[in-house]
Amino acid sequence: MSGKIAIFWPGDYRKTPNAQALPHITEATVQLERALAKLGRSSYRVDGYLTKPHEAIEKLGPIDDPLIGVYVHWVYGPHTTDGVVGKDNPLLLASNFSGTWPGLVGLLNTGACLESVGRRFSRAWTDADDWTADAGFMSRLDEWCSTGRIAYPEDEIRYHAAISPEAAALAGGVAAAIRRRRVLALMLGDTSMGMINGYFGPRLLNRIGFAEHKVDQAWIIERGRAVDPKRIEAAYAFVKAKGITFHYGGKGAEDFDEAATKEQLRDYLAVLDLVDEFKADCVGWQYQLGLIGLRPPSDFAEGLLNSACRPESNGDTIVDSTEADQGNLVPMELMKRLLKAKDLHQAVFFHDIRWGGEHDGRFVWVLLNSGSSGAYAFNHDPDTLKGVHSYRQPAGYFPVPGGTFSGVSLPGKVTWSRAYLRGGDLWMDVGRGEVVELPEAKREKWWKGTTREWPLMATDLGISRDTLMAHYFSNHVAVAYGDIFGEMVALSQELGFKVRILGGA
């Protein structure tokens, strides 16, 4: 590979995250430039953050030199993808491996977006303070500089798994029910915050037994106005009686009070009414960014939907995928149906793959999401909301006050999955893992090093850190307690997915 290397900064659409991350991305860029110089490569910077799709098109589109994007905070996929799609100059996504700002989350989302539109790219990451001192990172960077590509080991990836007759039969029963009455997903808006990879649309959903019905998010406001205040008061009394702890007031949360929670319950009830009207099976809730200045955060409502114990419950969860991410919505609904068929509790949890570290000789991921983790993870009791804590969503990101749906996920064996688009086909990743109990000091250190207000699930996903960073096609993952691994593989294949197994043999 010859020529100078262009370094660019994909950004968030919002000014605040970009401003907060500026010292980190500046330092990371200096580290990257030093690493390239050590390899005898020259580079130059593309000026400023790319904060809108047109900026990526206008600034990256004309560049034929090799490109490296620096990912140290959350970025929108189009702020890379729209500027590089349709070209084939070498492209590298580089990240510091830090939990303070979710740069690796941005890298994973952008990689998945690029994969979904068929744009070749490579990835590299490091947790070293001095990037040039990380031999593994330098080796990958040298490989990319020399060939334009990085090859990663695939020893933890398989494409077949032994399926027991019992698992195949159970999956077959669930598939038959879907064929009799396809799954209807109520989409509250389109995918959120630049996640190109999170939308499949009817042309792909219909192949696997799903349909979507889109409802404009404005309906949440319009329908919310008609919600009877008595229902809101009853819902608030319910969540209080069932054990949720509200952290009203205090530093940074002076405007967070009962009124804020009741407005979140208004939105919950409005969406519940929409689900009933359209007889929908599951929900994709966009929320960000369209309603962010108009309504309180959707987290509290989404956490309730993913809980069997909730106001006006029919005894079931209503699978809710935050950020309207169909790549999680589909596996969450399939896993819910398998859990019920296997007489396991039906709750499935939505998380960001935020960060991770070593614990007791294995790599443990901090799964942490601001959206839709249900209460069962925190108490393993389908009849209570104990263990749920509601903190004010950070005001820098969420100007209208409203609470999270947070807690510490209990230990236990889990099955995880994720759907994604690759080569024009729908794929499903499936794996086994374990939620682990961290010592309190380490748990608090990791939690406070990310976003303390959000729900925490410390999880060994059954694969190495580098396998996930090199091969995973999302920033999100769907997790369920219990072993439905064989059933999920069988059901995915039965419905027409191509399947990857991530984990040891």
> Domain check: are 311 and 244 in the same one?
yes
> Domain check: are 198 and 58 in the same one?
no
What integer pLDDT is reported at residue 69 of this predicted model? Answer: 98
Question: Count of H helices and E strands in the chain?
Answer: 16, 19
CA–CA distance, 414 with 331 (Å, rounded to integer): 14
Q: Which residue has the tokens 């027991």?
A: 164
Model confidence at 195, pLDDT cuts 50, 70, 90, reads: confident
What sign does the dihedral 164-169-173-176 (CA atoms) show?
A: positive
The stretch 153-165 carries a mean pLDDT of 96
- One DSSP character per residue, 32-86 reads HHHHHHHTT--EEEEEEEE-SHHHHHHHHTT--S-EEEEESS---THHHHHHHTT
Where a domain ends, among 99, 117, 147?
147
With CA atoms as reference, report the closest residue to 208 among 452, 425, 441.
425
What integer pLDDT is reported at residue 106 of this predicted model? Answer: 93
The stretch 439-455 carries a mean pLDDT of 95
Establish if 154 belongs to a structural domain. Answer: no
Does residue 141 sit in helix, strand or coil?
A: helix
Instruction: Compute CA 240 distance to the chain's CA centroid, rounded to the nearest angstrom.
Output: 29
The stretch 136-147 carries a mean pLDDT of 97
DSSP strands (E only) in 436-490? 456-460, 476-481
Model confidence at 102, pLDDT cuts 50, 70, 90, reads: confident
What integer pLDDT is reported at residue 396 of this predicted model? Answer: 84
The stretch 366-380 carries a mean pLDDT of 91
Establish if 84 belongs to a structural domain. Answer: yes
CA–CA distance, 283 with 318 (Å, rounded to integer): 7
Establish if 157 belongs to a structural domain. Answer: no
Q: What is the pLDDT of residues 17-39, one digit of tens each?
A: 899 999 999 999 999 999 999 99
- How much of the chain, in percent, has pLDDT values that exceed 70? 100
> Domain check: are 170 and 142 in the same one?
no
Establish if 155 belongs to a structural domain. Answer: no
The stretch 452-466 carries a mean pLDDT of 96
Instruction: Compute CA 243 distance to the chain's CA centroid, rounded to the nearest angstrom.
Output: 27
* Cβ–Cβ < 8 Å for 347, 376: yes
* Cβ–Cβ < 8 Å for 265, 236: yes
Within 13 Å and on the Cβ side, how many CA atoms surround 45? 14
Where residue 167 falls (left for φ over 0; alpha for ψ -120 to 50; beta otherwise) is: alpha
Amino acid at 267: D
What integer pLDDT is reported at residue 236 of this predicted model? Answer: 98
What sign does the dihedral 264-266-272-277 (CA atoms) show?
A: negative
**Burial of 455: CB neighbours in 10 Å, binned 0-12, 13-18, 19+:** buried
> Domain check: are 143 and 204 in the same one?
no
**CA dist 84 to 14, 124, 499, Å?**
22, 18, 28
What integer pLDDT is reported at residue 328 of this predicted model? Answer: 97
With CA atoms as reference, report the closest residue to 412 among 465, 371, 376, 448.
376
* Cβ–Cβ < 8 Å for 201, 297: no
- How much of the chain, in percent, has pLDDT values that exceed 90? 92
With CA atoms as reference, report the closest residue to 94 among 169, 30, 180, 40.
30
Q: What is the pLDDT of residues 467-497, one digit of tens each?
A: 999 999 999 999 999 999 999 999 999 999 9
* Cβ–Cβ < 8 Å for 374, 349: yes
> Residue 324: how many CB atoms within 10 A of its CB?
28
- Which CATH number is 466's domain given? 3.20.14.10
Pairing of strands 456-460, 362-368: antiparallel
> Domain check: are 447 and 415 in the same one?
yes
pLDDT at residue 101 is higher than 70: yes
What integer pLDDT is reported at residue 287 of this predicted model? Answer: 81
Q: What is the pLDDT of residues 403-441, one digit of tens each?
A: 999 999 999 999 999 999 999 999 999 999 999 999 999
Q: Which residue has the tokens 């077959």?
A: 172
What integer pLDDT is reported at residue 491 of this predicted model? Answer: 98
* Cβ–Cβ < 8 Å for 248, 258: yes
pLDDT at residue 256 is higher than 90: yes
Instruction: Find the DSSP H helices in 126-164.
Output: 135-147
CA–CA distance, 102 with 451 (Å, rounded to integer): 10
C-alpha distance across the termini of the chain, in Å: 36
Cα torsion 482, 486, 492, 495 to 10°: value is -110
Establish if 245 belongs to a structural domain. Answer: yes
According to DSSP, the residues that pair with 356 across neighbouring strands are: 365
The stretch 165-171 carries a mean pLDDT of 98
pLDDT at residue 268 is higher than 80: yes
> Domain check: are 228 and 102 in the same one?
no
pLDDT at residue 322 is higher than 60: yes
Six-digit token pair at 193? 């915050």
Establish if 401 belongs to a structural domain. Answer: yes
> Domain check: are 326 and 422 in the same one?
yes
With CA atoms as reference, report the closest residue to 477 among 410, 418, 413.
418
What sign does the dihedral 483-431-315-410 (CA atoms) show?
A: positive
State pTM to two decimals.
0.97
> Domain check: are 397 and 489 in the same one?
yes
pLDDT at residue 65 is higher than 60: yes
Cα torsion 345, 351, 356, 358 to 10°: value is 10
> Domain check: are 110 and 222 in the same one?
no
Tally of domains within the chain: 2
Q: Which residues contact 43 (CB under 8 A, 6 or more apart)?
A: 4, 5, 6, 7, 32, 33, 36, 37, 68
Establish if 160 belongs to a structural domain. Answer: no
Where a domain ends, among 147, 180, 199?
147
Amino acid at 410: L
> Domain check: are 47 and 128 in the same one?
yes
What integer pLDDT is reported at residue 191 of this predicted model? Answer: 78
* Cβ–Cβ < 8 Å for 69, 89: no
Q: Which of 162-171, 288-297, 300-309 has the lowest mean pLDDT?
A: 288-297
What integer pLDDT is reported at residue 24 of this predicted model? Answer: 94
> Domain check: are 297 and 198 in the same one?
yes
Task: List the domain range (segments joined by +) for residue 64.
Answer: 5-147
What integer pLDDT is reported at residue 90 of this predicted model? Answer: 98
What integer pLDDT is reported at residue 505 of this predicted model? Answer: 57
Establish if 159 belongs to a structural domain. Answer: no
The stretch 298-318 carries a mean pLDDT of 97
Where a domain ends, among 147, 179, 194?
147
Pairing of strands 349-359, 362-368: antiparallel
> Domain check: are 103 and 219 in the same one?
no
